[in-house]
Amino acid sequence: MIRENTEGLYVGVEAFIAIDGDPKAVAQSMAIVTRKGCERIIRYAFDYAVKQGRKKVTICHKANILKAVSGLFSKWGKASRRSTPRTFRPTISLSTPAP
């Protein structure tokens, strides 16, 4: 399993919002995802799979809920699938796995 943890919510852009005198009534986190970061982790996963003799890569995301940040990741997953060697045909599952 290869997991991306340098972007998204892991960038640490967070803040509190005061309401009715409570300075920490609401907590907010911002997910930041870049094309470069998505491409880097997806290419790494495909390269790793080839080196390990794997024939399948499954990319899991939450694009059904997080349309922008996970949608960008999903898009790059589809694009990377097209650029892999002919002998390696990864399968990409675009559904979110059950918890």
- pLDDT score for 87: 47
pLDDT tens for the chain, 99 residues long, are 888 788 888 888 999 999 999 999 999 999 999 999 988 888 888 888 889 988 778 888 877 788 888 888 888 877 777 666 654 555 555 555 555
Q: What is the domain range of residue 35?
A: 8-82
Burial classification of residue 62, based on how many CB atoms lie within 10 Å of its CB (0-12 exposed, 13-18 middle, 19 or more buried):
middle
* Rounded Cα distance, 36 and 19, in Å: 37
Tokens standing for 25? 């009534």
| Residue 58 placed within a domain | yes
Contact 46, 80 (CB under 8 A): yes
| Residue 27 placed within a domain | yes
| Residue 16 placed within a domain | yes
| Residue 87 placed within a domain | no
Total tally of structural domains belonging to the chain: 1
- Helices 69-82, 35-51: axis angle to 10 degrees equals 40
- pLDDT score for 64: 79
- pLDDT score for 4: 79
* Rounded Cα distance, 81 and 77, in Å: 6
- pLDDT score for 17: 97
